[in-house]
Amino acid sequence: MPFILDKGGVGGSQLGAFSGSAIMIRGDLVMKNRYGLILMMLIIFMGLSGNVALAQSDNVSSKSMQVLGKNVNVVTIDFNNTNLTFDIVKGNDQRAGWEDFSSIINRTKPTAAINGNYFNAYADNEEEIIPWGYIIKDGDILNNGATINRGSFAVTFDRKIIINNGEEFPKHDIETMIEAGPLLLLNGVIVAEQNNAAFSEDKITQNPAQRSAIGVKPNGHVIMVTGAKLKITELANILYQLGCIAATNLDGGASSALYANGKYITNPGRKLNTVLLVYDHKENVNNNPSAIQVILNGSKLDFDVAPVILEGRTLVPLQVIFNAMGVNLNWNGKNQIVTAQSKGITINLPIGSKAPTVNNVIVPLDVPATIIDGRTFVPVRFISESLGALVRWDESTKTIYITSDY
């Protein structure tokens, strides 16, 4: 019978029956969103990736070891720490096509990363290099399921981890998802052989090959694994020996790629279409006495991503502020445009553009909306003036006061 592991019971974890057929691991009920504060206010949490150069984390570790006589690379992610989040990046931020793994790492700057879905790597042109299987980013389905039921790794908005075949669970609460397969482990049982039946290629089901996999342990740790000359059954046994209770195979061969804490552990032999990223948002501005505070109509807003200064302008992530002001947000992942609506005002904000519009009128920005830590940062004055709010800066207390009649 499947199980759910709930991290929050009596002094540790508790196993109990779960009515679905997926393994789920629950962290604290915290969404991936990371918020901020300062002379500018605007966050969008719907999509993209970005981060700090050579991001490293004490909550992510890597090790090369021998398991069952096979050399493997293991990256361990302590997902109990709510500063850690998963994200998806597409090659060149497009559904079709691909990008060098090093280029993806350099522009998104994650703490860790592993290759994801299978894709048409032998297409004649880049437009035909399309992925197979579900891809979900920030709740948006970028790619639908494949014609076969594949092993998947997914994270819900309330930080449950699901590892199962992709058609076995609903998608409405999934924040992040990749799908490849075959499934290796489920509920602590090796299931690789029976799940092989959905795949027809010997290089996936039978032959020794370069492999990538992802699994989860009962203690809430997620592990990402690569290794060479492994049969799929050997890979399943390795994940079992490493303590996983659920695991799935990912794309392998020349696509196998692994990165952690500034180090390329496994370099792929080709460009990649889809990569799973890990971020550690460890800078909690609420614990920093020198951090800027934001007060909206007398109430302090809580954030956990520090503001930044770009070209002399201070930017902060903004979803918390917009939610507090009753602003509706929408993210167009295809065109990378944020739309905010409130009381007859519509703001369209293309990422990287200095020419957003307010009710179809261009309002020039000195600094465009940009992606940092997977969040969209925008100048507070643009948002406040666009929505009719007033902003006052108190230098002595490093506090932004926002007054709005929302």
Q: Could you give the number of structural domains in the chain?
A: 2
For a pLDDT cut of 90, what percent of the chain falls above it?
46
pLDDT digits (tens, 9 = 90+) for 49-89: 333 345 678 899 999 999 999 999 999 999 999 889 999 99
Q: Which residue has the tokens 């570790």?
A: 61
Write the DSSP assignment of 47-60 as a string of letters. Answer: S-----TT---TTE
Query: Is the domain of 231 the same as that of 167?
Result: yes
Across 137-143, average pLDDT: 91
Q: What is the mean pLDDT of residues 236-246?
A: 96
Per-residue pLDDT, 375: 73
What's phi and psi for 286, nearest 5 deg?
-70, -25
- Same domain membership, residue 312 and residue 276: no
Q: Would the pTM count as exceeding 0.75? A: no
Q: How far apart are CA 82 and CA 48, in angstroms?
A: 19
269 and 296, same structural domain? no
Residue type, 222: V
Residues 252 and 346 in one domain: no
> Is there a cis peptide before residue 182, judged by omega within 30 degrees of 0?
yes
Q: Which amino acid is at 111?
A: T
For residues 1 and 252, what is the distance between their CA atoms, to the nearest angstrom? 30
Token couple for 226: 């690569």
Pairwise pLDDT comparison (112 vs 386), residue with the higher score: 112
pLDDT mean over 223-244: 96
Of the two residues 159 and 206, the one the predictor is more confident about is 159
Cβ-based neighbour number of residue 204 at 10 Å: 21
Q: Where a domain ends, among 280, 310, 337? A: 280
Is pLDDT larger for residue 286 or for residue 104? Answer: 104
Provide mean pLDDT across the span 14-39.
Answer: 36
pLDDT of 404 reads 82
Helix (H, G, I), strand (E, B) or coil at 365: coil
The pLDDT of residue 54 is 57
34 vs 14, residue with greater confidence: 34
CATH (domain of 340): 3.30.457.10
178 or 193, which is more confident?
178
pLDDT band of 176, cuts 50, 70, 90? very high
- Does the pLDDT of residue 287 top 50, yes or no? no
pLDDT, position 40: 38
* Region 240-265 average pLDDT: 96
Residue 43 pLDDT class (50, 70, 90 cuts): very low
Kindly report the number of other CB atoms within 10 A of residue 337's CB atom: 17
The percentage of the chain sitting over the pLDDT mark of 70, rounded to a whole number, equals 79
- Joined together, the tokens standing for residue 383 give 């948002």
Q: Verify that 343 and 222 share a domain, yes or no.
A: no
Q: Are residues 143 and 261 in the same domain?
A: yes
Terminal alpha carbon distance of the chain: 50
Q: Are residues 124 and 263 in the same domain?
A: yes
209-216/221-230 β-pairing = antiparallel
Residue that is last in its domain, among 254, 280, 306: 280
Residue 385: count other Cβ atoms within 10 Å of its Cβ.
14
Compute the distance between CA of residue 303 and CA of residue 301 in angstroms, rounded to an integer: 7
CB atoms within 10 A of CB 287: 8
Query: Whose CA is closest to 181, among 168, 199, 158?
Result: 199
Q: Residue 35's pLDDT band (boundaries 50, 70, 90)?
A: very low
Query: Which range, 134-138, 311-315, 321-325, is most confident?
Result: 134-138
Highest-scoring range by mean pLDDT, 55-59, 68-72, 195-199, 360-364: 68-72
Q: Which of 280, 315, 340 is the last residue of a domain?
A: 280
236 in any annotated domain? yes
Q: What does the alpha-carbon distance between residue 166 and residue 129 come to, in Å, rounded to a whole number?
A: 21
* Three-class SS state of 157: coil
pLDDT digits (tens, 9 = 90+) for 255-271: 999 999 999 999 999 99
- Judgement on whether residues 314 and 230 belong to the same structural domain of the protein: no
Q: What is the mean pLDDT of the chain?
A: 80
Q: Is residue 186 part of a domain?
A: yes
Closest by alpha carbon to 322, among 302, 342, 307? Answer: 342
Q: What is the mean pLDDT of residues 384-403?
A: 79
The residue type at 310: L
Identify whether 300 is part of a domain. Answer: yes
Quote the pLDDT of residue 115: 97
Residue 363 within any structural domain of the chain: yes
* Nearest C-alpha neighbor of 222 from the set 363, 84, 107: 84
- Give the residue numbers spanning the domain of 307: 291-403
